[in-house]
Amino acid sequence: MATTPLLAFRYLRAARTTYDQLLWVQESIATTHSRRAAVVASRVHLPRIVDAARRLKIDLVAIPSPLDSEPPDSGVRAWLPSFSGLQLSRDGLYERVAVAYYRWKGWQ
């Protein structure tokens, strides 16, 4: 039975954007003769990552990570302002800007 080479876990610190990180993943797959890679990322950012990977023709296994702090989803606390809700709102706004930037750059 033939085995597929495994792209070892690596952390890339030098990349300035997620797109740069995906270019590094693409290069790493080619260098190691792997077929695919797995990326663990926030579930808020994962759709943009998957779209950019698809455009780069990277066979990617996308693994969503949980939020650092989940906002309440039921009861009275779901209707009250919370720090976790503020963080999620910030991440969502960041993502909207990032998607617009990626489209402007032609990365998505």
Q: What is the 3-state secondary structure (H, E, C) of the chain?
A: CCCCCCCCCCCCCCCCCHHHHHHHHHHHHHHHCCCCEEEEEECCCHHHHHHHHHHCCCCEEEEEECCCCCCCCCCHHHHCCCHHHHHHHHHHHHHHHHHHHHHHHCCC
Report pLDDT for 26.
92
- For the segment 75-107, what is each residue's pLDDT rounded down to a tens digit? 888 788 888 888 888 888 999 999 999 899 988
Report pLDDT for 66.
83
